[in-house]
Amino acid sequence: MNVKPQILFLSYAHEDVEWAEWIASTLERNGHTAIVSQWDFKPGSNFVLEMDRALKASDRVLALLSPAFIVSQYTQPEWAGAFAQDPTGEKGRLIPIRIRDCILEGLLSQIVYVDLVGLDREQATHCLLRSVVGERMQPDTPPAFPGGDALGQLDETAAVAVRYSENALPDVENLGFIDYVVLGTSSLKKGNRAASRFVEKIRLLNEKNLERAEEFTRLGRQRAGARKFQAAAQSTAEGMNQFATDSIAAIQEMGLGWEIGLTAWRRCFELLPGFGGIDEDSLRENLVVIDSMIRAIPQVRRSVTGMRDSTLRLPNLERNLSAAKREVARTLETAIRTLDRTLKLAIQTHDVAMDLMSRRES
């Protein structure tokens, strides 16, 4: 089938630049033109003006959905502009493409997205190319038989996680109150475990950074040769790259667990009035958990911000070290945005619970 080439503008968070480049490269190998800020916005140019020109020149805007995309201040004008030009979606001006697990709210949650999460390269390529030309998204291979008793062999928490995918919570009428409680509680626990792992990695990185700073100081006092400095810088870069690699999974699991858990709990609170009587003691216990998150997140954020800043202050002695510093900084920036997003959700959930209690008391 002959496909009309299109000009496609990619809207993405800085943390997802690798996804943006892969998608752009895939599109261009198949006859389309991709506009990517990483490639097409010239150094020294005005970013806003470049974005405006790109949006005007493009046929469609591809919004690469991820936790970082949702909290980014810079992606909002890009997808919002495309939405305003085609609010009903009849022209397909805005095509959301989910590249990482995330929960959507507001206008974005009302637009059908293309889902690349969990697909291999071939499947993702096939899905991507179909989506930009508006083809029907029927799979080429027959779907697996949904029957069998595999679900019944799982415990209740795992069953809920399988039945109700982590990529989005269903409408309240499609999910029972108990299932929301189970999903919310299990997801919060999962997020807390991932947070503990991440905090431990931060602690170890801090220790290593102090050791590395002392090592560079010692080499300077000894007037060590370039080779020794290069070897120390290379070792430092390897350690920092390992931290970034190990931490990103924990950050994503932490953010996803908290996001799903808090969203599920908020919906539980919204459903409670429909059950008549409210167990005020249980409600207060849940509020204690949420309040502890609201108090703890700013402390963790300060720690992560300090670690990012101290990492960037390490000396630029070697190219690989400079690249590793930037990678660690990007990883920690992702953590900061995840914490900001979680704090916002925790406050929203807290407010719903407090409103419920005030109505109960009145």
Quick one: pLDDT at residue 17? 86
Ramachandran angles phi, psi of 208, nearest 5°: -65, -40
Task: Check residues 286 and 307 and name the one with the higher pLDDT.
Answer: 307
Quick one: pLDDT at residue 284? 76
CATH number at residue 63: 3.40.50.10140
Q: Is residue 150 part of a domain?
A: no
Q: Is residue 128 part of a domain?
A: yes
Kind of pairing between the strands at 114-115 and 94-98: parallel
Query: Region 309-333: what's the mean pLDDT?
Result: 78
| Same-domain status, 96 and 204 | no
Domain end point (choices 105, 132, 159): 132
Distances (CA, A) of 154 to 25, 149, 193, 260: 41, 9, 21, 20
Q: What domain range is 214 assigned to?
A: 172-361
Q: Is residue 159 part of a domain?
A: no
Q: Is the pLDDT of residue 70 over 50?
A: yes
pTM of the predicted model, to two decimals? Answer: 0.52
| Same-domain status, 63 and 208 | no
Quick one: pLDDT at residue 90? 75
Q: What's the chain's average pLDDT?
A: 75
| Same-domain status, 289 and 339 | yes
- Which helix (H) or strand (E) element contains residue 122? helix 121-132
Domain end point (choices 132, 162, 181): 132
Quick one: pLDDT at residue 101? 73
- DSSP-derived secondary structure letter, 314: S
Quick one: pLDDT at residue 361? 58
| Same-domain status, 181 and 105 | no
Nearest residue to 23 (alpha-carbon basis) of 51, 74, 60, 53: 60
Q: Is residue 157 part of a domain?
A: no
Q: Is residue 311 part of a domain?
A: yes
Name the residue with tokens 């170890």. 204
Query: Region 11-16: what's the mean pLDDT?
Result: 83
Distance CA 26, CA 33 (A): 10
Residue by residue, DSSP assigns 141-191 as: SPPPP--SSTGGGS-HHHHHHHHS-TT-PPPGGGS-HHHHHHHHHHHHHHH
Q: In the chain, how many domains are there?
A: 2
Nearest residue to 201 (alpha-carbon basis) of 257, 236, 240, 256: 240
